Amino acid sequence: MKCKLLLSICFSLFLLNGINAQEYYWSSQKKNPLTVDSKRAVLHLVENSALEARLRTNSSFEKIERISEHSVMIVIKDNGKLLSDEITGIASNSIASFLDNNGEPIIPTGEILFEPKKGVSISEVNKVCENQLTVLDKEYSNYTVLVKDYARIFELANKLYESGLVEYSHPNFIGTLVKFQNDPLYPQQYYLNNTGQFGGTAGIDINGPQALTITEGLTDVKVAVIDDGVENHIDINGRVLSGYTVGNPNGNGSPAAGAAHGQACAGIIGASLNNNEGITGIAPCTEIVPIDIFSNINASAGQIRDAIDWAWDEGEADVLSNSWGYPASDAITQAIGRARTQGRNGRGSVVVFASGNSGGAVSFPGNVSGVLTVGAIDRNGNLWAYSSRGPQMDVVAPTGNVNLLGDVRTTDRPGINGYVNGNYVDTFGGTSAACPQVAGVAALMLSFDPFMTESQVKNIIKFTATGTGFNNNVGHGRLNAQAALQQVTPKILGPSKFCPSGVMKVGEVSGGTISWSVSPSNSLSFTQGASTNTFTRIGSFSGSATITATLNPACGTTRVITKNVTVGGTINFTWSGVGPFGQLDVNVTSGTAPYKIYRGSTLLYSGYSNPRTVNFGCNGGVLKVEANTACGIASKSVIVPQGCASFRGQSAMVVFPNPTSFELNIAQLDEFKEARSEDDIGSGELQLYDFDGNKIKSHKFSRIGHDTKMNLSDLKKGVYILRIIAKEVDEVHQVIVR
């Protein structure tokens, strides 16, 4: 059909061919209504074709822009001229652009995004869509497909969603990517430490300095700043990594000319500490993964989905910081879900979003379930009118307002914003500046304990916030970096038992060292240096050991971490007695025959009976039991106090004064001395134990009455067990320190 009409009329013909004046798409389990945008249209057009070149020279178009390899967008001039027959002939495969409820453009790309439910094949999906689909890409079970007839994109996407065969389905589209930024001035970082400067209320801050006294960082953490790009900066000190740019495989996340929003967010998160330069970051050793989703002003939902997936997967980001908004998209929601569940080797990446600057409901994707949603308060603790709010709120952080002096100072790029001293800006604010504060605290927590799950980090941040309970305006309250970090303890991850070996792990440090040690040294063998280390039992050692890791990062705080472990098999037993003639009942509750029971080094029993009564004697001593385990023979010892009180004559020694608060003396009983031909029992040792069997102190003596004294003045009040060992004596006494 030849068209000799005005361009606006001609477009209305092909746009209304199979397309309603009002359309919708499914996202977040609801219909999102759209209206036709009479200024824009999308045409299926082969890239670099002669027809595309001719279209670009047509004076009726305000703009023609390629939005994918198979589609172009045309913007019509208000006074558009007549189209030639050749140009209007392309209208057979085209679709209108649309506007959402906020009047923002929703520009279809000619594609549909969806994820089939488990067990549903692509052929089943294509059948529902009348074989209109050509698969362009599949990743993480999510499909991007091209639709043959552009006019049917919404019809087919909705039909597929309503079939119940998919988790989600909606057209791929280009929306307006909004940076949540305000532009006031403020020369100091009051959000870290509010002393009342510039009329603020002292203490309305996030307790940043207090958190940094706990740690400046310990192990490597990466934060993806998903924004308009980040480049290296004198105050980030080489910690900006190679990243990802939408639409440009060689962009590496570097900002385009004039872009500095991501640079400002990165400074709040990770600017260096104590380097005589600029500002202090909340997590000053963090590595920044730059993700530029603004370089292509027409970034589609599918491209943003891919950028989020790249951040947690290829970029290996532990935290994703997002100070932007976009029209609702299940494809983006699904990517956020993958980051939260599959990131960090299954522990989940922490995803943080600004709530938005509309003053209304929380913006998408800040309203996606499971993200940490951050609003904005002023330096007096009052909610900013612009801060979006609702039941999805988690916490708030102090920041500034539009066109007022006193905003957040952070890193900048040359010649972009207020630009202070060549590298900094003092006109940053809004929920854009609040979001990276939370991302920085999450990063600092994960640097201290990289083994926490995503949900653990989120819950700590929410429930340590300064507030009086949840409400829709501020969530759980004001971010409290100190309180959050106090809930985190660095740890060695690994087994508590070694039979015969086990793998221990600490977080990796960048440019620093990790050293390991074991006490006792004859318990476990290992290698030095690595964050993951295999410890192996030495010989037949059985018992307790302590593994120590010393982490000395190039950036951050040296930390010594210990873990108590058991080497070899373990047994347990109970004992009762001592009977009137020195009998002791022993019952092995964990361990297999044959059993051996000792008093000190004297074997009392060897055999298969359990429980077993042995003649232990009345003077107490060390009871040791051996039994078999899966790791071979293991033993356990306990101290048995003196018994058989009515047969005191069997005791050779007396201790006095008892109770005591200073010194304990040991002497022979007179009746014992009279029964012997010599006055002294010779040299020996005094050993003092607590009731858990831990040796507290010991003292060797040359002869009784000469140096058989023990100073107890340094001990806590309580009951202890004294063991006296000599040539003819091995007995135990109870000692009271008061």
How do 287-292 and 244-245 pair as beta strands? parallel
What SS3 class is residue 168?
A: strand
Query: What tens digit of pLDDT does each residue of 618-636 get?
Result: 677 889 999 988 888 888 8
288 occurs within a structural domain: yes
DSSP β-bridge partners for residue 228: 292
Query: What tens digit of pLDDT does each residue of 581-611 get?
Result: 577 889 999 899 999 999 888 899 999 999 9
Buried b / exposed e over 294-322, threshold 16 CB at 10 Å, is bbbebbbbbbbbbbbbbbbbebbbbbbbb
Q: Where are the beta strands (DSSP E) in 69-132?
A: 71-76, 94-99, 105-116
645 occurs within a structural domain: no
Say whether pLDDT at 563 is over 90: yes
Residue 388 annotated as catalytic: no
150: left (phi over 0), alpha (psi -120 to 50) or beta: alpha
Q: How many domains does the chain have?
A: 5
- Distance (Å) of CA 93 to CA 58, 75, 149, 351, 380: 19, 17, 6, 39, 57
588 and 475 share one domain: no
Please say whether the beta carbons of 341 and 374 come within 8 A.
Answer: no
Q: What is the pLDDT of residue 1?
A: 32
188 and 150 share one domain: no
Say whether pLDDT at 10 is over 80: no
What SS3 class is residue 475?
A: strand
491 occurs within a structural domain: no
CATH number at residue 719: 2.60.40.1930
Please say whether the beta carbons of 697 and 722 come within 8 A.
Answer: no
Please say whether the beta carbons of 318 and 348 come within 8 A.
Answer: no
Compute the distance between CA of residue 559 and CA of residue 733 in angstroms, rounded to an integer: 42
Confidence at 62, pLDDT banded by 50, 70, 90: confident
Among 205, 220, 227, 394, the active-site one is: 227
Please say whether the beta carbons of 55 and 83 come within 8 A.
Answer: no
Six token digits for residue 392? 């999805």
- Cβ–Cβ contacts within 10 Å for residue 608, how many? 9
Give the residue from 640, 665, 681 where a domain finishes: 640
Say whether pLDDT at 188 is over 60: no
Say whether pLDDT at 53 is over 90: no
What SS3 class is residue 303?
A: helix
Give the residue from 617, 640, 663 where a domain finishes: 640
629 and 727 share one domain: no
Compute the distance between CA of residue 326 and CA of residue 147 in angstroms, rounded to an integer: 23
Please say whether the beta carbons of 285 and 249 come within 8 A.
Answer: no
Exposure on the CB side of residue 627, measured as CA atoms within 13 A:
22
336 burial (CB, 10 Å; 0-12 / 13-18 / 19+) is buried
How do 105-116 and 142-147 pair as beta strands? antiparallel
CATH number at residue 525: 2.60.40.1080
> Closest Cα partner for 433 from 189, 177, 242, 187?
189
Please say whether the beta carbons of 341 and 195 come within 8 A.
Answer: no
258 and 330 share one domain: yes
Q: What is the pLDDT of residue 600?
A: 87
Q: In this predicted model, which residue has the larger pLDDT, 316 or 186?
A: 316
Query: What tens digit of pLDDT does each residue of 336-390 get?
Result: 999 999 999 999 999 999 999 999 999 999 999 999 999 999 889 999 999 999 9
Q: What is the pLDDT of residue 706?
A: 66
Compute the distance between CA of residue 399 and CA of residue 376 in angstroms, rounded to an integer: 6
Dihedral sign for Cα 363, 369, 371, 373, please: positive
Q: What is the mean pLDDT of residues 194-218?
A: 85
726 and 594 share one domain: no
Q: What is the pLDDT of residue 722?
A: 85
273 occurs within a structural domain: yes
Q: What is the pLDDT of residue 21?
A: 53
Please say whether the beta carbons of 664 and 658 come within 8 A.
Answer: yes
Q: What is the pLDDT of residue 672?
A: 47
595 and 715 share one domain: no
> Closest Cα partner for 287 from 224, 229, 235, 347?
224
Least confident residue range of 81-90, 165-174, 370-379, 489-498? 81-90
Dihedral sign for Cα 371, 354, 31, 39, please: negative
Confidence at 648, pLDDT banded by 50, 70, 90: very low
728 burial (CB, 10 Å; 0-12 / 13-18 / 19+) is exposed
Cis peptide before 500 (omega within 30 of 0): yes
Say whether pLDDT at 130 is over 50: yes
DSSP β-bridge partners for residue 162: none
Cis peptide before 520 (omega within 30 of 0): yes
Q: What is the pLDDT of residue 691?
A: 58
Q: What is the mean pLDDT of residues 234-261?
A: 92
Q: What is the mean pLDDT of residues 659-671?
A: 81
Confidence at 492, pLDDT banded by 50, 70, 90: very high
Please say whether the beta carbons of 288 and 55 come within 8 A.
Answer: no
What SS3 class is residue 430?
A: helix
492 occurs within a structural domain: no
452 occurs within a structural domain: yes
121 and 236 share one domain: no
Please say whether the beta carbons of 106 and 327 come within 8 A.
Answer: yes
269 occurs within a structural domain: yes
What's the chain's average pLDDT? Answer: 85
HEC profile for 397-424?
EECCCCCCECCEEEECCCCCCCCECCCE
Q: What is the mean pLDDT of residues 195-211?
A: 83
What is the residue type of 659? P
Please say whether the beta carbons of 112 and 145 come within 8 A.
Answer: yes
Say whether pLDDT at 319 is over 80: yes
Residue 432 annotated as catalytic: yes
Confidence at 180, pLDDT banded by 50, 70, 90: low
What SS3 class is residue 293?
A: coil
306 and 361 share one domain: yes
Q: What is the mean pLDDT of residues 502-511?
A: 90
Among 60, 388, 432, 651, the active-site one is: 432
Please say whether the beta carbons of 381 and 368 come within 8 A.
Answer: no
262 and 321 share one domain: yes
- Say what the pTM is: 0.74
CA 647 to chain centre: 64
722 occurs within a structural domain: yes
480 and 552 share one domain: no
Give the residue from 548, 567, 586 where a domain finishes: 567
577 and 618 share one domain: yes
Q: In this predicted model, which residue has the larger pLDDT, 321 or 188?
A: 321
How far apart, in Å, do the first and last CA atoms of the chain sit?
Answer: 108
CATH number at residue 584: 2.60.40.10
599 and 523 share one domain: no
Q: Which residues have C-beta within 8 Å of that of residue 733, sequence separation ≥ 6?
A: 620, 641, 642, 653, 655, 658, 721, 722, 724
Confidence at 670, pLDDT banded by 50, 70, 90: low
Q: What is the pLDDT of residue 692?
A: 52
Compute the distance between CA of residue 226 and CA of residue 315 in angstroms, rounded to an integer: 11
Say whether pLDDT at 578 is over 70: no
Residue 261 annotated as catalytic: yes
Least confident residue range of 35-39, 103-107, 613-617, 693-697? 693-697
What SS3 class is residue 341?
A: helix
Phi and psi angles of residue 30, each rounded to the nearest 5 degrees, phi first: -150, 160
Q: What is the pLDDT of residue 616?
A: 82
Q: In this predicted model, which residue has the larger pLDDT, 237 or 388?
A: 388
What is the residue type of 88? T
Please say whether the beta carbons of 545 and 520 come within 8 A.
Answer: yes
Highest-scoring range by mean pLDDT, 213-217, 485-489, 686-690, 691-695:
485-489
Six token digits for residue 77? 């001039």
Compute the distance between CA of residue 111 and CA of residue 133 in angstroms, rounded to an integer: 9
Say whether pLDDT at 85 is over 60: no
DSSP β-bridge partners for residue 518: 547
> Closest Cα partner for 404 from 194, 185, 197?
185
Among 44, 233, 261, 476, the active-site one is: 261
Say whether pLDDT at 50 is over 80: no
Q: For the chain, what percentages of helix, strand and coil (3-state, to nearest 5) are there?
A: 20, 35, 45
The range of the structural domain enclosing residue 462 comes to 178-486
Say whether pLDDT at 22 is over 80: no
DSSP β-bridge partners for residue 698: 687
Portion of the chain with pLDDT greater than 70, in percent: 86
Six token digits for residue 401? 């307002």
Please say whether the beta carbons of 4 and 137 come within 8 A.
Answer: no
Say whether pLDDT at 560 is over 70: yes
Say whether pLDDT at 146 is over 90: yes
Phi and psi angles of residue 690, each rounded to the nearest 5 degrees, phi first: -85, 180
